[in-house]
Chain A
Amino acid sequence: MNWPEVVFQYDETFDGFLCCVYESYVHKEFPIAFCGDEECWSLYSVRYVPTDLAHARRVYRSIVRISQSAADLLRRAFLTCLEDKEIHLYAFIRKLYDDGPAFLRNRADETYYPIAKAVRHMNGELEKLRGFIRFSDYDGVLGSEIEPKNRVLPLLRRHFCDRYANESFFIYDRTHRELLVYSGGSSRLLPVDNLTLNPPDEQEVQYRTLWKRFFDTVAIAQRENPRCQNSFLPKRYRGTMTEFLPADYGVTPKADAALPGSAVPAGTPAPGTRPAPVPPAAVSGA
């Protein structure tokens, strides 16, 4: 099959990607690369794909007809941090159309394996984050920040909305600049470019101290085993975990979050004594 090779430009949503698949078959063009909405420089010709929900739905239904589990896998795989994921997913869909779903049984399959591996990596991160997310109480609203590799917020949504159904909470994904807000029984995902949190109040610092003390106390000194700890709790998660941070974290803004000319002095003031420099993001985001 000699389809001309082009670069597809789309809006980086799942529906947009499905439309690329649609356009690829309509124009008989093979996607050599995908790019987002930013300007796209390439020696290949570029096809701009507008997102048309009807087209997306048509492609999605065609996949569901072949295999529901393949469709579920695609949705999940689109959230992973797999490099060139669109190319892998395109090849996957193509193979599904050409050969049917039998190859899904064989995890070692060349087309399927990279996707299965990426999804497994994401599932692992998801499993860890369910436990490792740490909330702080900001005047009754629970808030948390994470730095995941994969786009996990849509998948964490259900678990935390179930768990804290009676609360209001938000989780900010620093990597993908996305905010999950839940309040009064409904949740929303919003793109948010920057988030500055209030400093913790006195009671919050007290509970953090209690937790840190518990964490330090339960370790048995004679069994110390940093290698084991590192493999279960990789260091990249520790930047947002209470037990590895000072009890009053959030009082002095972190270097990257500090705004030029902000009125925060260099020293660490006593916990809970400073008024908020910025209105709480939880309220403005919701």
Chain B
Amino acid sequence: MDTLEKLTILADAAKYDAACTSSGVRRGYQAGKIGNTSSSIAGCCHSFSADGRCITLLKVLMTNSCVYDCKYCVNRRSNDTRRAAFAPRELAELTMQFYRRNYIEGLFLSSGVLRSPDYTTEQMITCLRILREEYRFNGYIHAKAIPGAAPELVNALGLLADRLSINIELPSEQGLRTLAPDKSRSAIFRPMAQIRDTVRENKRELVKYRHAPAFSPAGQSTQLIVGATGDTDRHILHLTESLYQTYRLKRVFYSAYVPVVENTLLPSLDTKPPLLREHRLYQADWLLRFYGFQARELLDDTRPNFNPYLDPKCDWAVRHLEHFPVEIMTCDYEQLLRVPGIGQVSAQRILAARRVGTIRWEDLSRLGVVVKRAQYFITCAGHMRDGLRFSPATMVRQLETIERGLLPHAAMEQLSLFDATG
């Protein structure tokens, strides 16, 4: 089998992994080594595939042979599909050649479980070692830790990679039991805790000894599949929050479940992937990480799922009108962040601008505020926007109209005279 064929099979098998980032480390030129990581902390996208997802790393599996039989997975043992495996050197060479043509930022290495988790991890370590030590590759490497691998091997992997990740995939214990009977919850969370502790220890070491080897400097991430099981958004969001807090994850990725295998326990093959749900989860994820929101503010027992018609922040705001309107000239940063239409950047610009003068309504869009959203929730130097008349119900209507134009597949909807408008 030639490299082209292997690449086709092994990239195809890896594509359902959503995590494709090269963020979190800024490593410049180092003498005797080849490459650097992105000069911006946010990573660097090298292309965008036809589904609009960023391509930044060469995302492949070491092999797609697998001893496990997870029901949702294309690579499961019982699925009749072509199998292939990269030789470690072959993959290292391919990575270097892609890297020097600036196709990629580095390598994303995952694998099916061949023979045992330990054996698979050893294969990955061999490949990364060739890349780092023989080819002196200084670019980004994201490696998957295989659940159930020995702690020593996870350690060795972390010293070669910039970021490690372990996919939880199914957000609940019950889902895991039915759909991935070979994996256990503890096999996933044990290495996650190990990576967290090692990273923390390593940070301390690096302070003391400047040349201590860095262990997974860009931290760890994970992925949750959305829509394969009956879990609610609330459950997923709370899990996310606890992952950020307990395991210090850098990112949680969500992957709308794409039905690839027929199984009675799974959604049927013609089910569309729940892209809007995935999108809402990402929006909420940002609110947790950058906007000071908590999961329980966004969703609770009475509202277990996101509103499809409004983004989570707008949705929160229209349910909490008692906090609004806020005065742009005097309110604090945390309050600004909670206003729909104002983000981190525009909030900081507002803080800077109001120190040197009064902000007028016409200045707001220049400061990066989305005025058509924010107008319902703010006053500028004591005034609402000229000519703005609304009731809570018409405001929701207006906000939904704005939102509809932004959704990827705006569902055509018959207008009705009798819809509830309050």
Contact = CB atoms under 8 A, between A and B. Distances in A.
A256 interface: no
Interface in A172-224: 207, 209-211, 213-224
A132 B16 CA distance: 23
Interface in A70-106: 102-103, 105-106
A245 to B, nearest CB: 13
A217 B8 contact: yes
A113 B44 contact: no
B353 A105 contact: yes
A5 interface: no
B12 interface: yes
Say whether chain A's binding surface is mostly helix, strand, loop, or mixed: helix
A167 interface: yes
Interface stretch (B93-101, B216-224, B412-420): B93-101
A143 to B, nearest CB: 10
A226 interface: yes
B101 A210 contact: no
Contacts of A218: 11, 14-15, 49, 53, 55, 59
Interface residues of B, number: 59
Given A130-B44, A164-B100, A213-B7, A229 B49 contact: yes
Given A105-B355, A210-B94, A222-B273, A135 B15 contact: no
Contacts of B15: 217-220
B250 interface: no
A248 B181 CA distance: 48
A131 B100 CA distance: 12
B349 to A, nearest CB: 5
A219 B50 contact: yes
A134 B101 contact: yes
A202 to B, nearest CB: 14
Contact of B16 (A163, A220, A241): A220
B355 to A, nearest CB: 6
Interface string B1-26: 00110011001101110000000000
Given A131-B56, A222-B273, A229 B39 contact: no
B366 interface: yes
B344 interface: no
A162 B356 contact: no
B408 interface: yes
B275 interface: yes
A32 interface: no
B341 interface: no
Given A106-B352, A210-B7, A229 B48 contact: yes
Contacts of A232: 45, 48, 52, 54
A130 B39 contact: yes
A125 interface: no
A222 B367 contact: no
A128 B103 CA distance: 13
Contact of A211 (B16, B103, B357): B103
A241 B12 CA distance: 22
Contact of B34 (A103, A166, A243): A166
Given A130-B39, A226-B50, A108 B59 contact: no
B35 interface: yes
B66 to A, nearest CB: 19
B184 interface: no
A261 B227 CA distance: 62
A228 B52 contact: yes
Interface in B111-135: none
B177 interface: no
B23 to A, nearest CB: 13
Contacts of B4: 209-210, 213
A222 B45 CA distance: 22
Contacts of B50: 216, 219, 224-226, 229
Given A134-B103, A135-B101, A142-B101, A107 B349 contact: yes
A17 B272 CA distance: 58
B333 interface: no
A242 interface: yes
A233 B363 contact: no
Nearest to B270: A222
Given A221-B51, A232-B54, 14 more contacts: A106-B353, A106-B356, A113-B366, A130-B38, A134-B102, A158-B39, A165-B34, A210-B4, A210-B98, A214-B11, A217-B8, A218-B49, A220-B258, A229-B50
**Considering the complex of A and B, which 5 residue pairs feature the smallest CB-CB distances, nearest first?**
A228-B52, A108-B363, A219-B49, A108-B366, A223-B51
Interface of B: 3-4, 7-8, 11-12, 14-16, 28-29, 34-36, 38-40, 44-56, 58-59, 94, 97-98, 100-103, 105, 256, 258, 272-273, 275, 349, 352-353, 355-357, 359, 362-364, 366-368, 408
22 contacts: A105-B352, A108-B359, A132-B47, A134-B103, A135-B101, A167-B100, A207-B97, A207-B98, A207-B101, A210-B3, A211-B103, A214-B11, A214-B58, A218-B14, A219-B51, A220-B16, A222-B272, A222-B273, A225-B50, A226-B52, A228-B48, A228-B51
